[in-house]
Amino acid sequence: MGMLERRAFLGAASLLASSLALSGCVGGDVEPTKTPKTGEDTGIQRQPIDVLPEGGQWMTLSCWQSCGGRCLNKGYVVDGVIVRQKTDDTHDDSQDYPQQRSCPRGKTLSSTWLGEDRIKYPMKRKHWQPGGVDYHPELRGQDEWERISWDEAVGYVADEVKRVFEQFGSRSFLGVSWDGLPYASYLGGSVGIMATGSRGSARLAPAHLGAEHDGCDVKRGQANDRFDLMYNAENVVLYSFNPAWNAMGSPMWHFMKAKENGATFTVVGPDYNMTASMLEADWIPVRPGTDTAFLLAVAYEMLRLDEEGGNVVDWDFLHKYTVGFDAESMPANAASAENFLGYVKGEYDGVPKTPEWATKICGTPVEAITKFATLLSKENKVMTFNAFGCMRHTATENLEQLMIAVNSMGGHYGKPGQCWGGYYFDGGSDAPCNLILTGSSGVDEAKEKLGIAPKKMLGEPCDDVVSAAQVWDAIFNKKYHFTGDIRNDAPESACEERDLDVRFMDFGTWSAMRSYPDTVKAVRALREGGIECVVGRGILPKLDIQFCDIVVPVISDLEKEAILETGEGGREIVYHYDKVCDPLYEARTNREFESAILTALGEDPAGMYPLSEEQKLYNIMAGTTVICDDGVTYEPLLTITQEDIDAMGVEGQPQQGRITLQEFKEKGVYQVERKQGDNFGFIAYKDFVDDPVAHPLATDSGKFEIYCQYKADILNQAKLRAGDEWKPYPTYVTPVEGIETTYADFEDQVKGDFPYLMYNTHYPRFGNGVYGNTKSLGEAFATPVFMGEKVAKENGIATGDTVLVESPHGSVLRIACVSPTYMDDVLALPNGGWSQFNEEGIDVMGGVSTLNGTLMQGMGCTSFNSNNVRVSKYAGDPLGSDSSRQVVLSAE
């Protein structure tokens, strides 16, 4: 593919346009303004784009906001202001050694992070008073703000922390954060949250199933290297997978290359998505949340076809590399003689899992199920990639294991052009063996050396952890169902109903009101749940911040120097990010905030932060290694001189590496140059398949566990929903909300009050919640609700109509986009809008979690894609542009 073609498809705007043009959904939600020519009288002084103002320099902008793109984004900065942007021009672009080009969202970094909607100074909610008596929670989200000083803010928080810890203990302290709340655990612990997040039910016991290998994270390392895709793929399955929208940068280009080299594509899911359209894929339609039924029928058909003609099921693979498929291959620890084969044939429940059985649930035509089973035959070379939209559902806890079972039936593991793996984003391939490994920050060692223990514990540590699926309900009802963090380990305490009495809440860095299900319940929990103090650190006025009592302004990533660490990016790249400007307004770092709280409480923050930020950064950079040509050994990446060390003001030894620190900083990137036949490729599970004895999996049996006693035990003891029975092998479990509940009578197929299924699509206008307040993106991209033609027809809806979408849990307004690319009875709502509720309680910004319920089942997987909805033409005023509803919080 030539340069021009690559450019054409890399523009997300053009991606959007290409498949939705037919349905008339193209363009933003406001009239595009005419671009003024230089010299035209617009009142704005513009300079020709190719002339750079004097006195500036190109800097590398941190661009990793919640999308997986990890692209190189450069800003021309004059006096701390980004006046131009460009992307990767550090080397010539080629398929093997691609530039890391950024997308339209990346082009808004300046207005997103350094714009007028920044939180500028600490604020207190006017009617909140400390002490837990006069705090008027009912006014959260609608009160006025008072500007306060940093000292006042820290004082309020420290006093409230102390009061709550002393009066109620650590069980009354709820911390919401990616990485826990350092100060809370330092002071004696807090109630934690267990979120299944991106990967949904695939988070369940991956090591026990065999879904983790080679020290890889869940599913990472199950997919082969991008070179294998480009040059060896024959049949590629895109399973719940849409990199054209969800993986900016190069990943789509590699799929296009595979197509050029003759691969054919099949997409499995509820819509014929953008990726499918670009790759001219075959479509196997499957309703949201029904993949377990679909794949059980696929297994049934593979067995039938094998019995009829042979050569479909790879029995040798099943018996050598898996346990629990049939009576011949039961694991030693099996508590029953039941196995997967018997279940599929209906021997235990009298229901053979035929295509006719499945189609009622998954909506896939019987012939399409047979077609997919034929494709997976051991005779074919098949490479399947899946993302996790199909697993962000309730009752999908058997899906990961079922994918392993079905792919093992075809023997598609450990060979070129064959795999079934996840998460093909993050800069291309996603194997665990990163070609660049960043060093350790040295914080843990320093803590140990320093030996400063907390002087006093304010509370007894607790083992409470609430799943994100139930957190708002738990606060509101003051009780929850304890399961521990069952993602990886069985809890030490019994799973049980527990009381919960949250008095203090710190929103940390997550955006919980948006990214956990049930925003409507979140609002009620914060207003009626008895929380006496809610604290937030805000860059932007996201929903959580709007519901706080005390807000402090924190810096964005553009206001600090940093490096992209291993695990945060792709395997071929490492970035150095510049500090573009000093902290804006009164913004400080999270570290400064937490240190100030500890100091106010009489603790020494050095115990928590033993190293300076500069020293940490230096340690990470100095310890960074890069792979050598042999593909095995690693050598230091950076040459660092004594002058460099002195300039950073850190302790260290000069060292010799591949490039100088100065070059790394100037370019902002180091990328391993790849070419065909290099030693950096990766075939997932190859060592295991080559020699299963020498390289067993981390499971109890050392093999893939199609019968996994651990999985069944852990789900059955969690008992989140009475009546569910979890078997050691994958079975169909009816979801608490899913296709069945769209019917008043499922048996007789009589539709109910909420007759449609809706899922949330990750979408080019957003990177989760990050760009929700960015005006220019709101203008460039419409954020409609997508729906199939049948839904539109049944409700008299046309593209462009303002529609009301209601679920049993909440309602939103959106503009409809009707498209034949969605299955009958299916709607999709883009994920990322910041909820805003009007007087009627309708969310006019279309926040996804407004329609999610508190649904508890299985491991407590969040129910993002399990919405039952109805839709109607809205009788009120048309919705108008989202960008007219930008939020700015101020005390003035």
Ligand X SMILES: Nc1nc2c(c(=O)[nH]1)N[C@H]1C(S)=C(S)[C@@H](COP(=O)(O)OP(=O)(O)OC[C@H]3O[C@@H](n4cnc5c(=O)[nH]c(N)nc54)[C@H](O)[C@@H]3O)O[C@H]1N2
For ligand X, the binding residues (CB under 6 A) are 66-68, 197-198, 239-242, 245-246, 268-271, 273, 286, 288-289, 291, 387-390, 393, 425, 509-511, 514-515, 537, 539-540, 542, 554, 557, 590, 759-764, 766-770, 831-832, 848-849, 852, 864-865
Task: Give CA–CA dist 526/496, Å, rounded.
Answer: 24
Q: Pairing relation of β-strands 638-639 and 659-660? A: parallel
Which one, 165 or 425, has the nearer CB to ligand X?
425
Binds 843: which of Mo ion, ligand X, none (CB < 5-8 Å by kind): none
306 or 559: whose CB is closer to ligand X? 559
Considering all CA atoms of the chain, what is the largest pairwise distance in Å, rounded to the nearest integer?
A: 82
**Among the listed residues 261, 291, 298, the one whose alpha carbon sits nearest the alpha carbon of residue 387:** 291
Q: Which does 424 bind (CB under 5 to 8 A by kind): Mo ion, ligand X, none?
A: none
Shortest Cβ 572–ligand X spacing (Å)? 18
Closest to Mo ion by CB, 170 vs 515, is: 515
Min dist. Cβ of residue 287 to ligand X (A):
7
**Shortest separation between residue 195's beta carbon and ligand X, angstroms:** 8
Q: Which is nearer to ligand X, 68 or 188 (CB)?
A: 68
Judged by CB under 5 A, the stretch of 197-205, 394-402, 435-443, 840-848 that binds Mo ion is 197-205
Q: Which is nearer to ligand X, 390 or 627 (CB)?
A: 390
CB 169 within 8 A of CB 462: yes
Judged by beta carbon distances under 5 to 8 A according to partner kind, the member of ligand X, Mo ion, none in contact with residue 865 is ligand X
Total residues binding Mo ion (CB under 5 A): 1
Residue 47: how many other CB atoms lie within 10 Å: 11
468 or 697: whose CB is closer to ligand X? 468
Surface-to-core class of residue 542, CB atoms within 10 Å of its CB (0-12 exposed, 13-18 middle, 19+ buried): buried
The option from ligand X, Mo ion, none interacting with 171 (CB < 5 to 8 A, set by class) reads none
Closer to Mo ion by Cβ: residue 198 or 401: 198
The residue type at 215: G
- Which residues fall within 8 angstroms of residue 446, CB to CB, at 6 or more apart? 610, 611
From first CA to last CA, the distance across the chain in angstroms is 55
Q: Rounded to the nearest whole angstrom, what is the least distance from the CB of residue 1 to ligand X in the complex?
A: 22
500 close to 529: Cβ distance less than 8 angstroms = no
Q: How many residues comprise the chain?
A: 892
> Smallest distance, Å, CB 198 to Mo ion?
3
In this chain, which stretch among 194-202, 304-312, 330-338, 603-611 interacts with Mo ion, using CB under 5 A? 194-202
Instruction: Tell me which of 198, 275, 408, 835 binds Mo ion, using CB under 5 A.
Output: 198
Q: Are strands 123-125 and 550-553 parallel, antiparallel or unpaired?
A: antiparallel
The three-point CA angle 391-394-397 to 5° equals 60
- Quick one: which segment of 193-201, 398-406, 551-559, 652-660 binds Mo ion (CB under 5 A)? 193-201
Q: Which two tokens stand for residue 238?
A: 């895109």
Compute CA distances 477 → 170, 191, 474, 513, 825, whole Å: 19, 16, 5, 17, 34
Among residues 880, 806, 866, which one has the least CA distance to residue 842?
806
Helix intervals (H) in 708-766: 709-718
Per DSSP, the three-state class of 817 is strand
Q: 6 contacts which partner out of ligand X, Mo ion, none, CB within 5 to 8 A by kind? A: none
Instruction: Pick the closer one to Mo ion by CB: 766 or 837.
Output: 766
Q: How far is the CB of 391 from Mo ion (least distance, A)?
A: 11
Which of 189/832 has CB closer to Mo ion? 832
In the complex, the smallest distance separating the C-beta of residue 177 from Mo ion, rounded to whole angstroms, is: 16
Q: CA 67 to CA 75: how far, in whole Å? A: 20
Least distance from Mo ion to the Cβ atom of residue 196, Å? 10
For Cα atoms 874, 880, 884, give the angle at the middle one, nearest 5 degrees.
Answer: 140
Measure the CA–CA gap between 751 and 742, rounded to whole angstroms.
6
Minimum gap (Å) between residue 295 Cβ and ligand X: 9
Q: Which does 245 bind (CB under 5 to 8 A by kind): Mo ion, ligand X, none?
A: ligand X
- Report which residue type is found at 697: L
Nearest to 830 by CA among 337, 97, 242: 242
Q: Map the footprint of Mo ion across residues 74-103, applying CB under 5 A.
A: none
Closer Cβ to Mo ion, 331 or 769, answer by number? 769
Where would I find the beta strands (DSSP E) of 46-117? 57-60, 73-78, 81-87
Phi, psi dihedral angles at 678 (to 5 degrees) = -70, 175
Nearer of residues 414 and 421 to ligand X, judged by Cβ:
421
The CA distance from 716 to 711, in Å, is 9
Q: How far is CA 310 from the centre of its chain?
A: 41
Least Å distance, CB 404 to Mo ion, is 22
Question: Which residue sits closest to Mo ion, CB atoms considered?
Answer: 198
Instruction: Choose the one of Mo ion, ligand X, none that binds residue 169, judging by a C-beta under 5 to 8 angstroms depending on kind.
Output: none
By CB under 5 A, tell whether 246 contacts Mo ion. no
Cα–Cα nearest to 853, from 477, 362, 516: 516
C-beta of 66 vs 380, nearer to ligand X = 66
CB of 271 to Mo ion, least distance (A): 19
Judged by the rule CB under 5 A, the positions of this chain that interact with Mo ion are 198
